[in-house]
Chain A
Amino acid sequence: MATGIPPTHWVNPNPPAPSQKPPATTVGGIGWLRAHLFSTAANSVLTLATLWVLYWIGERLARWLAGAFWEPIWANRKLFATGIYPSEQLGQPAVVLLLVCALFGLSAGRWGSIMRTVGIGLAALLLLLALIPLGGMAQAVMAAGLALLLGGYWLGARGWVASRWLVAGWVLSGPLTFVLLLGGVELPLLGASPAVDSSLWGGLMLTMLLAVVGIALSFPVGVLLALGRRSKLPVIRYFSIGYIELIRGVPLITLLFMGMTMLPLFLPGGWGNPSQLVRAMTAITFFSAAYLAENVRGGLQAIPKGQYEAADALGLSGLDSLRFIILPQALVKVIPAIVGQFIGLFKDTSLVSLVGLLELVAVAKAVIQQPEWLGVAGGVAKEVYVFVGLIFFLFSYGMSFASRRLESKLGFGKR
């Protein structure tokens, strides 16, 4: 700066005292311990009591882990994955897995957000499974899935696919999954394959399928019910309220038994009997729709009235204002709630084991009963249920973690 005025050098008349190290008891490991565990006498007692509880649990856990017998799980890994699906036709579920991986990768790249978080978890899982010597083609399929996931992400992130094509892909993947799993038709790459009855589907595959189908099919019904509940027309409003409260008031298991035994009764005589899988899916969809409606209603209520009024002022019809103004905002707001519901549904699918479908818990029961493990001291129930619990935990906790990240990104709870 060429101002011509010489810089003044200001001198602090009271120079600060030479800095000293903080007392050893407030920093570092000891300081942290003091602040977080032993700040007061009561706190110290609490810490010691907690330590005792931890020791009590940890000692038992370590002793059990040391003697745990994991052979039944390793020997039945195929059963846990796909149930009693014919071994020579496992290519069909593999193609479904690859399809989902590719779509997931593309979506994660295109849309990011929760898709990316879940995608990272999925990639880690696929990598782990590709490294474990599962045998057969399983490892190759997992590796291919990982490659498709990453490749899809790369493509998606570069914007090579339009959102609308992705949505179309997801929508088409539903029926395609059923065609692939059911077989019995001439397929382009796999050739002709014998039909696989849906009663042979099982394991984690069935658990996933039920949860995804439950949410996907219940989505349109749930949105309609939510709109119905907020409708000004009393007949439609009371019908929606009645349906939602009736379904939410009874346990899922009653609906499942109802679906199993009463659904065939409701159909005309000539229609025959739907398969067990279809009955369970119907019951789950009816159940899930009521809960989804309540979640969507929460989103609708969070839209300020001004948005409705602005849409009216623009001369949009009721349907157009819903489609372009209200629903896009409301649905984004309820994504975390819907993820939460999906987690709940994923856990609830375990109930279909009580009506004769071979999902994870039913497989676990079957494995425990296998004659090979009858001689094992203490039985193998603990190991098998811990393993199944771990699978559920992995997916549920992973999704709730992703959902929490999304929530903090959307800024919920920080208003």
Chain B
Amino acid sequence: MARSIFPNPKPPFYRDTRTIAVLVQLVFLVGVLLAGWFLYNNMTTRLAAANTTTGGALSWNFLSQTAGFGISEGPAFQPEESYGRAYWVGVVNTLRVGLTGVLLATVVGLLAGVARVSNNWLLRQLAGVYVDLFRSTPLLVQLLFWYVGVIAALPNIQDAAELGNLGYLTNRGMYLSWPQLTATGLAWNGWLLGGGGVAVVVAWLQRRRLRRSGRLGSGLLAGVVAGGIVAAAGYAVVAANATLPTATTYELRRGDRGTLFEDRNGNGTLEPAIDQTLAHVPITLYGAQDEVVAHGSTEQDGTFRFADLPAEAVRLTWSTPPPLVLSEPQRQGFNFRGGVSLTPEFAALLLALFVYTGAFIAEIVRAGISAVGKGQWEASRALGLSTGATLQMIVLPQALRVIIPPLTSQYLNLVKNSSLAIAVGYPDLFNVSRTIVNQTGAEVQGIVLVMATYLTFSLVTSLFMNWYNRRVALVER
């Protein structure tokens, strides 16, 4: 073996970059661990001294304890239920406002973004003002403005502002007409499900047919039409044949209110765990002399209630409803019944979130469309493609690649920003977690729970959007 001409071919170990790398990382790791241990130690000492936490310093037992507070909206929640379930209601409420907000923000952002690049000068300016105004003011100010300045200033329930047949606007919330499944609608559910399946299969077949003949398009339209036909046919069949259960009976109280239900165990009394209430069934109330006292229908929860009857009702009859009815809100005393209602908190939060995020999405859409070079439009024109075909096949596929990644982070921002619900008292997950923390003193656990939940949302959204992004991404060599 030839001897190296260098006196010492290997540097000493303390100058070997590999050794240094390991040493640096080791020192860093030890530093982080020491700092973490220091902080954790302080925390447990202080917690032990303060002794505020129920069931030990860092225990999770509180999750199964009785909450003792109510939650104003979202899935039904009783104060006797546990803290864990209360938190779950908060999560559902966050998702409710988050998903609706994402949907509306996308629509608004898309429209405003396209308007920003429109040929029409006036429309372009209007969209520009919208974007600048809402991007440059804090979401919290906008939220409080909508909640305190606009919604609280709406008329009260007595002189509610009517939106034609759509519903009512009041300072206690929005009441909207909404299609709802009736007691016979359950039979239609199967048809709807079948229609969905048919739609997917037909869309897939149509897409394959198009691809084989070398054409573009998604087959979506064919699928929707096929599914719609199945659903419509099902509707006709159900409307013609469905009947209410033979065991249908009712409870009538105080001559003007009660519940219509299927008496499954035949004992004549309503037991919510066993018996099935019947929604949106037309009913007629009769008085003691067999005269008609009132016509009406049951609510979503199978109950009915009439005001100012001429006489007390003693019995009632019912008829079979169609599977689907448009439930319109009706004023009764100091409230509305029927339709769907949005609380002022939900409405303000939703409005603020989608208007704010819509402005950001508009900028993303504008940037995405501008990123597609003018030459692409011109080349497509030269090939003889129509404007619609140019948009569908040339511009949008390229713009989407630019739009998707920032759009994802806007969606995530919207969900994270929904934590501002605490400013207006909407019971989202963060607001509920604060109530839990205030009652139990489980400060650390509360924060960990909230952070873990938001991180899960981020992760799931990122995974989905990354999958979608890969679908639209440029396929390179």
Residues of A within 8 A of B42 (CB): 265-269
Once A43-B120, A257-B434, A385-B145 are accepted as A-B contacts, the answer to whether A351 and B443 lie under 8 Å apart by CB is no
A11 at the interface (CB under 8 A from B): no
**A378, closest chain B residue (CB):** B153
Once A235-B28, A388-B141, A396-B136 are accepted as A-B contacts, the answer to whether A36 and B126 lie under 8 Å apart by CB is no
Residues of B within 8 A of A36 (CB): 119-122
B49 at the interface (CB under 8 A from A): yes
Q: Bound complex: CA of A343 vs CA of B138, how far in Å?
A: 10
**A266, closest chain B residue (CB):** B39
* Cβ B138 vs Cβ A361 within 8 A: yes
- Which segment, of A48-56, A80-88, A306-314, faces chain B? A48-56
Q: Which residues, 245 to 267 on A, are CB-close (under 8 Å) to B?
A: 246, 248-251, 253-254, 257-258, 261-262, 264-267
**B409, closest chain A residue (CB):** A248
Once A36-B120, A269-B46 are accepted as A-B contacts, the answer to whether A393 and B137 lie under 8 Å apart by CB is yes
Q: Bound complex: CA of A234 vs CA of B21, how far in Å?
A: 10
* Cβ B443 vs Cβ A400 within 8 A: no
Q: Bound complex: CA of A37 vs CA of B120, how far in Å?
A: 5
- Which segment, of B208-216, B295-303, B447-455, faces chain A? B447-455
Q: Which residues, 362 to 395 on A, are CB-close (under 8 Å) to B?
A: 364-365, 368, 378-379, 381-382, 385-386, 388-389, 392-393
Q: Bound complex: CA of A22 vs CA of B462, how far in Å?
A: 57
Q: Which of B32, B120, B141 contacts A392 (CB 8 A)?
A: B141
Q: Is the interface of B mostly helix, strand, loop or mixed?
A: helix
A236 at the interface (CB under 8 A from B): yes
Residues of B within 8 A of A264 (CB): 46
- Which segment, of B223-231, B260-268, B310-318, B418-426, faces chain A? B418-426
* Cβ A235 vs Cβ B29 within 8 A: yes
CB distance from A69 to the nearest CB of B (A): 13
Q: Which of A234, A261, A353 contacts B25 (CB 8 A)?
A: A234
CB distance from B96 to the nearest CB of A (A): 17
* Cβ A251 vs Cβ B416 within 8 A: yes
CB distance from A286 to the nearest CB of B (A): 13
* Cβ A236 vs Cβ B137 within 8 A: no
Q: Bound complex: CA of A334 vs CA of B365, how far in Å?
A: 23
CB distance from B431 to the nearest CB of A (A): 10
Q: Which residues, 1 to 59 on B, are CB-close (under 8 Å) to A?
A: 21, 24-25, 28-29, 32, 39, 42-43, 45-47, 49
* Cβ A354 vs Cβ B137 within 8 A: no
Once A233-B25, A385-B141, A392-B141 are accepted as A-B contacts, the answer to whether A251 and B126 lie under 8 Å apart by CB is no
What band does the interface of chain A fall in when counting residues whose beta carbon is under 8 Å from B? 35 or more
Residues of A within 8 A of B120 (CB): 36-37, 43, 46-47, 50
A350 at the interface (CB under 8 A from B): yes
Q: Bound complex: CA of A396 vs CA of B458, how far in Å?
A: 27
* Cβ B447 vs Cβ A254 within 8 A: yes
B385 at the interface (CB under 8 A from A): no
Residues of A within 8 A of B83 (CB): none
Q: Bound complex: CA of A257 vs CA of B132, how far in Å?
A: 30
Once A43-B119, A254-B430, A368-B148 are accepted as A-B contacts, the answer to whether A53 and B126 lie under 8 Å apart by CB is yes
A407 at the interface (CB under 8 A from B): no
Q: Is the interface of A mostly helix, strand, loop or mixed?
A: helix
Residues of B within 8 A of A368 (CB): 148
Residues of A within 8 A of B277 (CB): none
Q: Which of B49, B132, B140 contacts A353 (CB 8 A)?
A: B140
Q: Bound complex: CA of A366 vs CA of B423, how far in Å?
A: 14
CB distance from A299 to the nearest CB of B (A): 18
Q: Bound complex: CA of A43 vs CA of B144, how far in Å?
A: 37
CB distance from B420 to the nearest CB of A (A): 7
Residues of A within 8 A of B145 (CB): 381-382, 385-386, 389
CB distance from B4 to the nearest CB of A (A): 23
* Cβ B122 vs Cβ A51 within 8 A: yes
A230 at the interface (CB under 8 A from B): no
* Cβ B434 vs Cβ A46 within 8 A: no
Q: Which residues, 126 to 162 on A, are CB-close (under 8 Å) to B?
A: none
* Cβ A347 vs Cβ B118 within 8 A: no
B93 at the interface (CB under 8 A from A): no
B133 at the interface (CB under 8 A from A): yes
B444 at the interface (CB under 8 A from A): yes
Residues of A within 8 A of B119 (CB): 36, 39, 43
B252 at the interface (CB under 8 A from A): no
Q: Bound complex: CA of A80 vs CA of B285, how far in Å?
A: 62
Residues of B within 8 A of A379 (CB): 148-149, 152-153
**B126, closest chain A residue (CB):** A50
Residues of B within 8 A of A248 (CB): 458
Q: Bound complex: CA of A9 vs CA of B379, how far in Å?
A: 46
Q: Which of A37, A232, A265, A368 has the most CB of B within 10 A?
A: A265
Residues of B within 8 A of A37 (CB): 120-122
**A48, closest chain B residue (CB):** B122
CB distance from B244 to the nearest CB of A (A): 47
Q: Which residues, 133 to 172 on B, are CB-close (under 8 Å) to A?
A: 133, 135-142, 144-145, 148-150, 152-153
CB distance from A139 to the nearest CB of B (A): 28
Q: Which of A251, A262, A365 contacts B444 (CB 8 A)?
A: A262
Residues of A within 8 A of B420 (CB): 253, 351
* Cβ B140 vs Cβ A249 within 8 A: no
A324 at the interface (CB under 8 A from B): no
Q: Which of B28, B39, B137 has the most CB of A within 10 A?
A: B137
Once A53-B126, A254-B430, A269-B46 are accepted as A-B contacts, the answer to whether A236 and B25 lie under 8 Å apart by CB is yes
Residues of B within 8 A of A364 (CB): 141, 144
Q: Bound complex: CA of A266 vs CA of B46, how far in Å?
A: 8
A178 at the interface (CB under 8 A from B): no
* Cβ B136 vs Cβ A400 within 8 A: yes
Once A36-B121, A254-B430, A347-B139 are accepted as A-B contacts, the answer to whether A233 and B21 lie under 8 Å apart by CB is yes
* Cβ B28 vs Cβ A250 within 8 A: no
Once A236-B28, A269-B42 are accepted as A-B contacts, the answer to whether A351 and B140 lie under 8 Å apart by CB is yes
CB distance from B151 to the nearest CB of A (A): 11
Residues of A within 8 A of B454 (CB): 249-251, 254
* Cβ A265 vs Cβ B455 within 8 A: no
**A382, closest chain B residue (CB):** B149
* Cβ A262 vs Cβ B122 within 8 A: no
B417 at the interface (CB under 8 A from A): yes
Q: Which of A43, A46, A250, A393 has the most CB of B within 10 A?
A: A250
Q: Bound complex: CA of A71 vs CA of B121, how far in Å?
A: 38
Once A353-B140, A393-B137 are accepted as A-B contacts, the answer to whether A251 and B45 lie under 8 Å apart by CB is no
**A232, closest chain B residue (CB):** B21
Residues of B within 8 A of A265 (CB): 42-43, 46-47, 443-444
Residues of B within 8 A of A233 (CB): 21, 24-25, 28
A239 at the interface (CB under 8 A from B): yes
Q: Bound complex: CA of A351 vs CA of B122, how far in Å?
A: 35
Once A47-B123, A397-B136 are accepted as A-B contacts, the answer to whether A251 and B419 lie under 8 Å apart by CB is yes
Once A249-B454, A269-B49, A389-B137 are accepted as A-B contacts, the answer to whether A239 and B32 lie under 8 Å apart by CB is yes
Q: Bound complex: CA of A28 vs CA of B119, how far in Å?
A: 18
Q: Bound complex: CA of A227 vs CA of B459, how far in Å?
A: 24
**B457, closest chain A residue (CB):** A249
Q: Bound complex: CA of A46 vs CA of B152, how far in Å?
A: 33
Q: Which of B46, B135, B150, B451 contacts A246 (CB 8 A)?
A: B451
Q: Bound complex: CA of A232 vs CA of B20, how far in Å?
A: 12
Residues of A within 8 A of B455 (CB): 246, 249-250
Known: A268-B42, A379-B153. 10 other contacts (CB 8 A): A46-B120, A250-B451, A251-B454, A254-B430, A258-B447, A261-B437, A261-B447, A347-B136, A361-B140, A361-B141
Smallest CB-CB A-B distances: 5 pairs = A36-B121, A382-B149, A396-B136, A235-B25, A347-B138
Can you spell out 8 A-B residue pairs with CB atoms less than 8 angstroms apart? A53-B126, A233-B25, A265-B43, A354-B423, A368-B148, A385-B145, A388-B141, A396-B136
